[in-house]
Chains A and B, each alone.
Chain A
Amino acid sequence: MMAFLQSGPVQTALLLSAAAGLLCGALGVFTVLRGQAFAGHALSDVSSAGGAGALLFGISPLLGFLLFGIAGVAGLELLQPRRAAGRDEAAGILLGAGLGVTALLLHFCLTGHGASGAAQAVMFGAMFSAPPGTALWASGLAGLCLLGLVLIARPLLLATLDAELALVAKLPVRALGFAFLALLALGVTLAAMTIGAILATALLIGPAASALRLAGSPLRAVLLSMGLGLAACWGGVVLAYVSYGWIPGRTWPVSFFIVALLFLFHEAARWGRRA
């Protein structure tokens, strides 16, 4: 137990995954309520290009993921059609463009810099080899994002549940939507750094979907979702650490355990709801 907590990679992983788990847990509830799961996935896929770029140019992965995550929001805003039905289309176009750039940058990573695990790390996460400084920045950023979410939570919730009423109440619905999208980009960026760009959606949607099944009010759902996100992340880190002895000389990846736990939580929530 002491060895677990004293290990540098474990400390980094715990901090990084807590930041991602708590923030995505909170954002996820709004994402599910607003029906923007696909937009969230598109943003994390676009941010993967930044992760690959960071490996290629040797800059901080946090900076790389963030730059492209923000570019993704700008892209979504530009492509945003008037009618709601076009939203998936815009997200799909953006997702494809982002992953295309990722493919290009990862190819250069492999051929020029000899990082054979680059694709694995960007797409499926490599928490234990994250630079320790990154985890500190990531948790600071997550804290700011949570603060931002608290500030817009009430009007955002109203705009989400009843947009017409929100307009009548003179709430800036479009600005709120954009602000939420910006926060979402930061959240999935952290999730992408933690469990990889492809799996980030699991951390965004999983805890929120489970919590919304169980909790009676939006506030309770947000708190429960944050708890589930944190539990899955830390549980995943612990299980990956313990897996060291299962097959000699081979550990199991953290991302697998986090996603597995999220899935189990969701099934338990479904079962618990029915019972």
Chain B
Amino acid sequence: MLFHRIGLALVFGLAGHLAMAQPVLHAVGLENQYADVLAQIGGPYVKVSAIQSDPNTDPHEFEATPRIAAQFRKADLVVENGLGYDSWAAQLLKGGHAKLLSAQALLKLPDSTPNPHLWYRTDTMPAVAAAAAAFFEAKDPAHKAQYQANLKAFDAALAPWKAEIAKVKARYAGAPVAVTEPVADDLLQEAGLKIMTPFSYELSVMNDTDPAPQDVAAEEALLRDNKVKLFAYNEQVTDPQTEALLALARQHQVQIVPVYELMPSSAKHYQDWMLQATTALDQALAAK
């Protein structure tokens, strides 16, 4: 009888525990890097999904489908990048109950900010993580302690990345680099590197407009005359122009570093991706 009771208690206890580990909230990251951070903060209590994780598309040009609208209806929290990068979402969220967090708003960036690739900044994800934790705590006070612990762990996990940036900066500050689009510009600048590519060229590549021949000539000269230590290009959106620049960089032994619009599948978490990206800069600069 006693054993029976213990058995029952065990069964109920386990069942209760399993029920507790069931997600109680739904969160959506419009890009998979935001979804990854949400999942790290929410742990088992938040079911997280990402809208965009296909590396073959350009998130700048994404358009919403009815399936995504259905996904939004279930969501309690939606995190967007902002700066027009994923402006399609706001319209879909109208009338729903989900709260919309914008990385742009959290960082208090004006709409005129020219470079929307905010995840290459070190201050973006800590702000997103803190805001997400505060939201989860308010909606699900029962797991407040866990959310707080997860936030702490996430912030700590960013330390190796920041240390790697400091290392690159200490060794190579002022080193000239070339880029195609302004994808990783914030990281390059935070590491003290000097972007030599004309910004008007970066904008024409990002927006697929006809580039000025003068800008093309300047960009080609950077690679041909070995005026830069490395060439960072957007791996996700390449065109004949970028292919030609890549060939030129290879021909003149300029180190090539790919950067991304969405978290590549080679990285387990956001912080691993950023650490890999910064280590790649370090290695490219060391090789030159």
Q: Which A positions have Cβ atoms within 8 angstroms of B? A: 3-4, 6-10, 13, 110-118, 120-121, 125-129, 131, 241, 244, 248-251, 253-254
Contact = CB atoms under 8 A, between A and B. Distances in A.
Given A110-B61, A114-B61, A251 B212 contact: yes
Interface in B175-220: 198-200, 203, 207-214, 216-217, 220
A128 B213 CA distance: 7
A10 B212 CA distance: 9
B214 A117 contact: no
Given A117-B209, A126-B210, A128-B211, A112 B57 contact: yes
Nearest to A61: B240
A3 B203 CA distance: 22
Given A8-B220, A113-B58, A254-B210, A129 B203 contact: no
13 contacts: A8-B213, A110-B61, A110-B63, A112-B57, A113-B57, A114-B61, A114-B237, A116-B207, A117-B210, A120-B208, A249-B198, A249-B200, A251-B210
Contacts of A118: 208
A127 B210 contact: yes
Contacts of B198: 249
A129 B210 contact: yes
A7 B61 contact: no
B250 interface: no
B62 interface: yes
Contacts of A248: 200
Closest 4 CB pairs of A and B: A114-B58, A117-B208, A249-B200, A251-B212
Contacts of A244: 212-214
B241 interface: yes
Nearest to A249: B200
A236 to B, nearest CB: 12
Interface in B58-75: 58-63
B264 to A, nearest CB: 16
